[in-house]
Amino acid sequence: MNNVFPSQHPLVAHKLTLLRDKNTDPKTFRELIREIATLLTYEATADLPTRPKQVETPLATTQGTEVDDKIGLVPILRAGLGMVEGVWTLMPGAQVWHIGLYRDERTLRPVEYYNKLPVEPTVSLCLVLDPMLATGGSAVATVDILKRWGVRRIKFMGIIGAPEGIALMQEHHPDVPIHLAAIDERLNENGYILPGLGDAGDRQFGTG
């Protein structure tokens, strides 16, 4: 699977185990989503372009670097929201553009209900944030929207991916790298990831 990067980091695996636990309460669940998002950001941004930047230390002038990208975070509502703070820990200047999609329970197809992108893209790289890549319908639809908006470079950052969702993304958007905490076994008959963690939106927001 080219372009798919499940984390190999022990801290990610440790935190993901706590996240999966059905006894983890919403407050801890939100903290874990934030922490895992921070760790995945470190991995997903390893190839960011940089430009030289001169800096004066108390002792001398030296050549440093700064990131040469305008980064946009695109959390897919609702569940992607919880990942934003985690990314902001490392990139506090990143813009955030929300896209609202929910999955129709019967067809499992994404239904768009919110999108307030300006006419012209304001960023050079978008990180799409959603903890769950299940059938892949929501991720594919979001990347479709961003490409129509004119963004050329897009990465998907999620927590758990199902093989079915990864395959759909690779079919429609093979140019989009996928960064995940883990790849799980499969979807069940209701489109939920097994073993997964249940409903990521409900567990963060205490609904359901």
Residues noted as catalytic: 103, 107, 199, 202
Q: Does 191 bind ligand PRP (CB under 6 A)?
A: yes
- The closest of 108, 109, 197 to 159, measured between CA atoms, is 197
Q: At residue 97, what are phi and psi to the nearest 5 degrees?
A: -120, 120
Phi and psi for 102 in degrees, rounded to 5? -125, 155
3-class secondary structure per residue, 70-92: CEEEEEEECCCHHHHHHHHHHCC
Residue 115 CA to residue 101 CA, distance in Å, equals 9
Residue 66 or 113 with smaller CB distance to ligand PRP: 113
Does 76 bind ligand PRP (CB under 6 A)? Our answer is: yes
* Residue (12 or 200) nearer to ligand URA, CB: 200
Any residues with CB less than 8 A from the CB of 118 and at least 6 apart, and which?
none
The CB-of-66 to ligand URA minimum distance in angstroms stands at 37
Nearer to ligand PRP, 26 or 49 (CB): 26
CB-CB neighbours of 186 under 10 Å:
11
Residue 172 interacts with ligand PRP (CB under 6 A)?
no
Q: For residue 41, which of 116, 145, 128 has the smallest C-alpha distance?
A: 128
Residue type, 105: E
Under 8 Å CB-to-CB from 119, ≥6 apart: which residues?
Answer: none
Q: Which residue is nearest to ligand PRP (CB)?
A: 201
Q: Give the interface segment with ligand PRP, choosing from 10-18, 34-42, 60-68, 136-144 (CB under 6 A).
A: 136-144
Q: Per CB under 6 A, which region of 18-26, 51-59, 62-70, 77-85 contacts ligand PRP?
A: 77-85
Q: What minimum distance in Å lies between the beta carbon of 110 and ligand PRP?
A: 5
Please, what is the minimum distance in Å from the beta carbon of residue 190 to ligand URA? 8
41 binds ligand PRP (CB under 6 A): no
Q: Which residues bind ligand URA (CB under 6 A)?
A: 79, 132, 134, 191-193, 196, 199-201
Please check whether residue 203 is in contact with residue 197, taking contact to mean a CB–CB distance below 8 angstroms: yes
The answer to whether residue 98 forms part of the interface with ligand PRP (CB under 6 A) is no
Residue 176 makes contact with ligand PRP by CB under 6 A: no
* Cβ-based nearer residue to ligand PRP, 4 or 133: 133
Residue 9: name its binding partner from ligand URA, ligand PRP, none (Cβ under 5 to 8 Å by kind).
none
For the chain, the maximum distance between any two Cα atoms, rounded to a whole number of angstroms, is 65
